[in-house]
Structure 1
Amino acid sequence: MNIIVFDLEWNQSPIGQAGEHPRMPFEIIEIGAVKLDEHYHIIDEFRRLIRPKLYPTLHKYIRNILNYDEKELKKTGVDFKKACTDFLRWCETDESIEVHEGVTVKVPYSFCTWGPSDLSYLQTNMDFYHMEKLPFPLRFYDIQQIYADKYSKEKTICKLEKAVEHLKIEKSRPFHAAVNDAYYTAMVLQKGHFGNIEEKFTFDIYRHPKSQEDSITEFHNKVLDHISGEFDSRSDAMEDPDLLTVKCSRCGGKTSRKIDWFQNTSGVEYAVGRCFRHGNMLASMRFKPASDSSNRVFAIKKIVPISKTRYKEVKSKHDQIEAKQREKYMNYRKKKGLK
């Protein structure tokens, strides 16, 4: 696996939303990356500063954390299309593999990032300049989440610097420079004892399936990921029997429902089913707007095995929410004078 760990620095309107371009609220000003071998050792580095066009003045918060200013960007930066083209060419390798007798293809590369936002902002900037799109569906490795899954009981994500400190990685470079943050992300991957991460990928959701026929379903690392096509509304989606089905993330078989779908205070839907072979499965589902101009949505569903302790926590939360809804309903009836 050809691994590219990359990081971005970006700027935004220094006067807030009033000066924001609707198609590109965050303008990339630096691309930094490191290339790793199969043992996660760094074999090459990439860095480009980018001369901003939309927001030439740095936002005060961004200026305070960066190791350069507008003068350096103007002096040494290149335009985004050139920087991005150079980066994507650098990601490629001359290595080839034989996929069929006499047929070879270049070894593909996989992106690693600290969190999911870098890929989204990269594609936003690429679309703004009408560049060729990245492959779809796009798998990548979120090292921030992989680290949280291993080292946090609650699977809570943390800042890169905290992970570096926890793993006792030497702080030999300043943070908040893209190539340096890519370096530290690679060091977390190298020192974190995550084993083979090949099945620990996630899907980028900057682009999504348009129809249910094109929806994405993938079993990997004891996880079932499903990204649906578009629905007219959230309520329509919650009436779709296929979307509401909770399958076992290990064998793909049907489960018996233990906890019906319910929505927590942050808007995430949850349900629990039980596979007679592999135990309880927790399904979580988030909805994302399909566009800025309509009510259409698509769903991101994830199903994972859960422990008895976690099951009790989810059941308790379900019962609390159900009790509150029942109390609210009874108060309404009482107010209306109904029995």
Structure 2
Amino acid sequence: MNYIVMDLEWNQSYSGHIGEHPRMPFEIIEIGAVKVDKNYRIIDEYSSLIKPRIYKKLHSKIRTILNYDETDLAKGRGFKEVCTEFLEWCGKDYIFCTWGPMDLTELQTNMAFYYMDKLPRPLKFLNLQQIYANMVDPTGSTVSKLEKAVADFNIPEDEPFHSAVNDARYTALVLKEMHPRNLKDLYSFDLYIHPTKKEEEIVAIHNNQYEYITREFSSKQEAMDDKDIACIRCYKCNKKINKRLEWFSNSPSSYICAGKCWHHGYFSGKIKFKPLDNGKYYVVKTIKPIDKNGVEAIKQKQTEIRERRKEKRHTRATR
């Protein structure tokens, strides 16, 4: 299997939301990629400019970072032709690698605009930005630009950034320097197209965690009433975990809990509600191993949330 390290450049309406096309807020104007083998060696490259159809004038902010202008783009080819060629170049046995999740989202948005066939589902990819973040910060909360990662690894900056193929090449060099263990297990699921029914739901154990991506629900409460979502099991032995902390609202869009498997130790559970344009929700549930200190940290968070809510209720009552 090869790694397709991809980078895209896109343009948007010069006049802001007023001139934005509802089906394509961002129009891809360049596709760049490198093909990397199992030893992290670059074995091939792909690069092509795309002649814009919707936003023919570059947005002022985008103009300042690109190394080309409208004259160059006018010589490009149509998106459908370039994208078809690019996907054929990728081959059959590969996984996309990107710096952040947005490139795959915008690629599929542009493909949908031109009524191209959808990418196969479920679509796994390697979010190298997140993998890098997990390396430099155990919490994984640090979000770094590609330029910082390149500088951190002392990679020579021989070519300008914000050229798609150059950025893809730099990303591949960062991947080589990271050389993460069990890379194939560090994948994420692209959720541009989410499950809509039970048989499309995704269940996976990877990156030392259990992940469950559900079908649609009409409300958050309906989702929480579903036994498959509310139940928390040890993904190593499939036995129910003895909850030390029941599900509680951590934010308007998430719930967390914690418990213990008597054979495999402590686990935390997290539910994220993903809102949809039709007013419904789907859920991404994860279960991860933690230690006793992790349980105490979640318990402390629960206490702090309760105190803040109590204080808000008291403030409203005394007005």
Scaled to the shorter chain, the TM-score interval is: over 0.9
- The number of residues matched between the two structures is 318
Give 1:258-297 correspondences, 5 Å limit.
258-265=244-251, 267-290=253-276, 292=277, 294-297=278-281
1:127 to 112, 119, 130: 112
The one-letter code of the counterpart of 1:57 is K
Counterpart-to-counterpart distance in 2, 1:131 and 1:47: 20
Helix, strand or coil at the partner of 2:138: coil
Write the deviation string for residues 249-301 of structure 1: whole angstroms up to 9, x where unpaired.
Answer: 444432111222222346332222222222221222222233x2x21111112
What 5-or-longer segments of structure 1 have no aligned partner? 93-106
1:90 matched to 2:89? The reply is: yes
Give 1:32-47 correspondences, 5 Å limit.
32-47=32-47
Partner of 2:7: 7
Helix, strand or coil at the partner of 1:238: helix
Q: Do 2:96 and 2:126's aligned partners in 1 also have CA atoms closer than 8 Å?
A: yes
The one-letter code of the counterpart of 2:37 is D
Instruction: Give, in angstroms, the shift of residue 172 of structure 1.
Output: 1.6
Q: Do 2:217 and 2:223's aligned partners in 1 also have CA atoms closer than 8 Å?
A: yes
What 5-or-longer segments of structure 2 have no aligned partner? none
Counterpart-to-counterpart distance in 2, 1:229 and 1:330: 39
2:133 to 143, 148, 151: 148
The farther-off stretch of 185-194 and 79-88 is 185-194
Helix, strand or coil at the partner of 1:198: helix
Partner of 2:48: 48
Q: Do 1:247 and 1:273's aligned partners in 2 also have CA atoms closer than 8 Å?
A: no
1:158 matched to 2:144? The reply is: yes
Partner of 1:189: 175
Instruction: Give, in angstroms, the shift of residue 225 of structure 1.
Output: 1.1
The one-letter code of the counterpart of 1:317 is K
Counterpart-to-counterpart distance in 2, 1:329 and 1:238: 25
Counterpart-to-counterpart distance in 1, 2:281 and 2:251: 19
1:255 matched to 2:234? The reply is: no
Write the deviation string for residues 132-158 of structure 1: whole angstroms up to 9, x where unpaired.
Answer: 110011111111111111221321221
Counterpart-to-counterpart distance in 2, 1:134 and 1:256: 40
The farther-off stretch of 28-37 and 246-255 is 246-255
Q: Do 1:141 and 1:200's aligned partners in 2 also have CA atoms closer than 8 Å?
A: yes
Q: Do 2:253 and 2:274's aligned partners in 1 also have CA atoms closer than 8 Å?
A: no
TM-score (norm 2): 0.94
The one-letter code of the counterpart of 1:89 is E
Give 1:198-209 correspondences, 5 Å limit.
198-209=184-195
Q: Do 2:127 and 2:188's aligned partners in 1 also have CA atoms closer than 8 Å?
A: yes
2:97 to 108, 112, 130: 112
Q: Do 1:9 and 1:28's aligned partners in 2 also have CA atoms closer than 8 Å?
A: yes
1:218 to 189, 192, 204: 204
Instruction: Give, in angstroms, the shift of residue 51 of structure 1.
Output: 0.7
Q: Do 1:249 and 1:305's aligned partners in 2 also have CA atoms closer than 8 Å?
A: no
Counterpart-to-counterpart distance in 2, 1:65 and 1:266: 36
TM-score (norm 1): 0.89
